[in-house]
């Protein structure tokens, strides 16, 4: 294994197992369940939550399970095939890789998907903090990409997930997927308390100007969690008026809304 992991733009000066995300050779699933409340196009979906993340946002609701790559059951072929059968029997229309961040396990997941007969349609939910080439590799085995576009500027991203180039990296990756097929891209934005002007408005503006044929999905279910509980803005619940305004703005500016 290389001493410099270049799998994502954090470009850790160590191997993945000791790098920021700690992605180990044994990929682990800390939960799998059917979700009925996803966007209509992908619901009901069988979600596989994999531990380990390359961003670790202050407000992550997965907290320790999502962050620590040694949490959960090893994602062996047997485990996966049994879980698939369970999901099918409960009517799931697809499987969905979520995290943590599934991108840190890219090579493993591609190999697993390629080795699985009768694989259902695949949804890839990601923070999109990856190189554009990552999405080239995923394209043959992924049907729908769900991107979490969290911040509308680099300063908020630096403050809450510790990277300085957030927007540049994520927007480049979004454009890569969009140019290939806009209809395979869903962009979620979780409204954050106190981030209406600095994050929500720039996100909608960028979306409407650059990737208008993708599906915009506004999320207003913010819950203060983790380090966010001690942040002056993020420790609050969402303001109902902000949420109503945001919905109105999205309906006015975005062509395709979930």
Positions that interact with ligand SF4 (CB under 6 A): 5, 7-8, 10-12, 16, 19-21, 23, 54, 104
Closest alpha carbon to 196 in 257, 258, 152: 152
Query: What is the nearest approach in angstroms of ligand SF4 to the Cβ of residue 167?
Result: 18
Tell me phi and psi for residue 96, to 5 degrees.
-135, 125
Q: Decide: 106 and 141 in contact? Cβ < 8 Å.
A: no
Question: Minimum distance between the CB of residue 75 and ligand SF4, rounded to whole angstroms?
Answer: 17
d(C-alpha 204, C-alpha 132), whole Å: 22
Closer CB to ligand SF4, 8 or 238, in the complex: 8
C-alpha closest to that of 124 among 151, 96, 100? 96
Nearer Cβ to ligand SF4 (104/228): 104
Question: Exposed, middle or buried by CB within 10 Å (0-12, 13-18, 19+), for 128?
Answer: buried
Which of 55, 246 has the CB closer to ligand SF4?
55
- Residue 23 or 95: which CB sits closer to ligand SF4? 23
Shortest reach from residue 3's CB to ligand SF4, in Å: 11
Shortest Cβ 15–ligand SF4 spacing (Å): 7
Residue 33 three-state SS: strand
Nearer to ligand SF4, 23 or 254 (CB): 23
Q: Between 7 and 71, whose beta carbon lies closer to ligand SF4?
A: 7
Q: Which parts of 78-223 are beta strand (E)?
A: 94-98, 122-126, 144-148, 185-190, 215-219
Please, are residues 99 and 52 in contact by the beta-carbon 8 Å criterion? yes
The minimum distance between CB 24 and ligand SF4, in angstroms, equals: 11
Residue of minimal Cβ distance to ligand SF4: 19
Pair of tokens at residue 47: 């979600």
Residue 34 φ then ψ, to 5°:
-90, 135
In degrees rounded to 5, what are phi and psi of residue 235?
A: -75, -10
Q: Which is nearer to ligand SF4, 69 or 193 (by Cβ)?
A: 69
> Minimum Å distance from CB 138 to ligand SF4?
15
Least distance in angstroms from the C-beta of 111 to ligand SF4: 17
């Amino acid at each position: 294994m290389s001493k410099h992991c270049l799998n994502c733009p954090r470009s850790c000066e160590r191997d993945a197992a000791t790098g920021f995300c700690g992605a180990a050779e044994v990929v682990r699933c800390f939960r799998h369940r059917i979700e009925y409340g996803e966007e209509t196009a992908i619901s009901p979906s069988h979600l596989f939550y994999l531990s380990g993340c390359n961003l670790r946002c202050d407000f992550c609701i997965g907290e320790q399970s999502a962050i620590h790559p040694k949490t959960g059951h090893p994602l062996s072929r047997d485990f996966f095939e049994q879980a698939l059968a369970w999901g099918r029997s409960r009517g799931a229309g697809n499987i969905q890789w979520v995290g943590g961040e599934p991108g840190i396990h890219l090579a493993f997941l591609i190999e697993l998907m390629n080795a699985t007969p009768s694989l259902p349609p695949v949804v890839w939910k990601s923070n999109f903090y990856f190189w554009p080439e990552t999405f080239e590799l995923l394209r043959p085995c992924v049907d729908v990409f769900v991107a979490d576009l969290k911040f509308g500027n680099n300063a908020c991203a630096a403050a809450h997930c510790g990277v300085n180039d957030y927007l540049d990296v994520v927007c480049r990756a979004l454009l890569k997927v969009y140019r290939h097929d806009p209809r395979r891209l869903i962009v979620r934005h979780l409204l954050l308390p106190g981030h209406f002007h600095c994050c929500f408005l720039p996100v909608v503006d960028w979306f409407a100007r650059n990737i208008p044929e993708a599906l915009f999905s506004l999320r207003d279910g913010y819950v203060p969690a983790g380090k966010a509980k001690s942040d002056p803005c993020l420790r609050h619940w969402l303001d109902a008026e902000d949420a109503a305004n945001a919905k109105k703005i999205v309906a006015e500016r975005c062509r395709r809304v979930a």
